[in-house]
Amino acid sequence: MRKIILSFLLVTTMATSGRLLAETRSAGKHEHGSSSVGIAVDGNDMAIDLDGPAANLIGFEHKPSTPEQNAVLARALDVLRVGDALFLTPPEANCRMVSAGVSPPEFGADGHSDLEASWEFRCGKPSALQWVDVQLLAKFPGIAKLATSIVTPAGQKAVVLTPGTTRVLLPRPASGLGSAP
Ligand SMILES: [Zn+2]
């Protein structure tokens, strides 16, 4: 259900703000070094998904054929499952991961495969959720560029994160809304 809502929001985002998002979150495009993340906040819920070439996370895109490759894959999946360490949020927002959807890539015959993952968080005080610090670039040096799109009730934006810039500021409510002390 959440996945459906997130997909809907992302489709809506792409439809409404056009070129920028189309460039930064190029769905379906497989470019080594580039991954994409979508962050959707709705009430107390935050849903995040990740998509991109498996090579960005594990360094290869074929079925693991050695114990070392199996270990690399298992380690990457373990890191991905700890969403609380991948996506840091303001402590006062009191966000906790409630579920993670992480599974091995479907290794295809064409030599390329993608690895997708998703997480759901619940935030005790969403009004304090002003930023998300994305640690994917630090944990996975194979990601050089992370196209990030954000949808919240206050608006939407798209940014490209690089190893030097990991923090996404979430759209703030329009003036007159949410500005009370
Ligand atoms: Zn590839």
pLDDT tens digits along 10-61: 544 444 443 333 333 344 689 999 999 999 999 999 999 999 999 999 999 9
Instruction: Tell me the CA–centroid distance for residue 114 and ligand 1, in Å.
Output: 7
Backbone angles phi, psi at 29, to 5 degrees: -85, 135
> Into how many domains does the chain fold?
1
For residue 33, the CA-to-ligand 1 centroid distance in Å is: 9
Residue 170: which residues within 8 A CB-CB, separation 6 or more?
Answer: 39, 41, 129, 130, 131, 132, 150, 152, 154
Q: Give me 173's structure tokens.
A: 């409510």
Q: What is the pLDDT of residues 127-178, one digit of tens each?
A: 999 999 999 999 999 999 999 999 999 999 999 999 989 999 999 876 544 4
Tell me the CA–centroid distance for residue 93 and ligand 1, in Å. Answer: 37
Cα atoms found within 13 Å of the Cα of residue 49, Cβ hemisphere only: 20
Q: Would 132 be classed as within a structural domain?
A: yes
Among candidate residues 16, 9, 17, 36, the one with its CA nearest the CA of residue 134: 36
Q: How far apart, in whole angstroms, are the C-alpha atoms of residue 162 and residue 180? A: 34
Q: Is residue 178 part of a domain?
A: no
| 153 contact partners, CB below 8 Å, separation of at least 6 | 41, 42, 43, 173
Q: For residue 86, tell me if it sits in a domain.
A: yes
User: How many helices (H) and strands (E) would you count in the chain?
Assistant: 5, 9
**H/E run at residue 58:** helix 55-58
Task: Assess contact for 136 and 51: CB atoms under 8 A.
Answer: no
The DSSP call for residue 8 is H
The per-residue pLDDT for 44 is 97
Predicted local confidence at residue 2, as pLDDT: 52
Per-residue model confidence as pLDDT tens digits over 103-134: 999 998 888 999 999 999 999 999 999 999 99
Q: Classify residue 180: in a domain, yes or no.
A: no
Decide which of 72 and 3 is more confident.
72
pLDDT at 3: 52
106 Cα: distance to centroid of ligand 1 (angstroms) = 12
On whether the pTM is more than 0.75, the answer is: yes
Look at residue 153 and tell me if it is in a domain.
yes
Inside any domain, residue 49: yes
- Structural domain range at position 83: 2-169
Q: What is the DSSP letter of 66?
A: S
Q: How far does the centroid of ligand 1 lie from the alpha carbon of residue 31, in Å?
A: 7
